[in-house]
Amino acid sequence: MRAFRLFKFGVAATLSHSGVAFVSCAAFGGFIGLTSAVVYGQEHAIQQAVGPDQWKAMLVFAGIQLLAQLLATIAIGPVFQASAAYAAFRHSRRKPGSVRHGLNFALARYGRMFKPHLKAWLMILLGLQLLIPGIIYWNQLALVDSVTVFEKSKRPLARSRQLTKGYRRSIFLLALPWFLYGIPAIVIEPTVAGISPLLMVGYHIALSLYLFVMFAGYSRLYLERTGQDVERSEELVESTEAS
């Protein structure tokens, strides 16, 4: 099964570039964990401000949580995604990497990734609030970040839709554990937040590791779909060393 093969590749790429993975997950997951801890810490104040209507309080609280997640995804997501793409590329070529090289690679692409990443993930995260639209967008736009990392496409969203055709089942299956996690997370997250804000940060860093594995797998799929030659791609990655 292609999804399982991509998952195994993502695990191997993450382990072989554990330094880059850890720094990226610490930044991305740590930011989400910290903002989530702050939001959960204000849960009682939010309920008091909203009033006795529990449903209204839940909607307001969920909206604040969504905004916090969007902020992290928009601000740090491009670096996180580019770091996973870096790990995938280097592992595909059986070449070592370094934290400095990986972060330089990611930061050098932040500017061109920002707008496509913002548009794609706004569509995905807002769509996931209705479930089915979010899953459809996820399957179509899963390769947007890989496209903007390795190409200078003027229409990265359309390019992702083109590259994912015929592969969306594998894309969905690779993300399925993450989607299913959303059900118990309703109970797990408030419990963790109630124990310690620091634990909440560690919890989200750990969750980010799966995302890193998954996005490394998606980057591998991109490399397979585009059939980029080693020489061209190697020049693209090595160019960050001179910066």
Which pLDDT score is estimated for 186?
Answer: 77
Lowest mean pLDDT among 30-34, 119-123, 159-163, 173-177: 30-34
Average pLDDT of the chain? 87
242 — pLDDT class (breaks 50, 70, 90): very low
Q: Which domain holds residue 57?
A: 2-242
- Count of domains for the chain: 1
Lowest mean pLDDT among 56-60, 166-170, 193-197: 56-60
130 — pLDDT class (breaks 50, 70, 90): confident
Please answer whether residues 117 and 145 qualify as being in contact, where contact means their C-beta atoms are separated by less than 8 angstroms: yes
User: Between residues 128 and 230, which one has the greater pLDDT?
Assistant: 128
d(CA 86, CA 91): 8
Lowest mean pLDDT among 54-63, 148-157, 160-169, 212-221: 54-63
Does residue 240 register a pLDDT over 50?
Answer: no
Q: What is the pLDDT of residues 93-102, one digit of tens each?
A: 888 889 999 9
Predicted TM-score (pTM) of this structure: 0.88
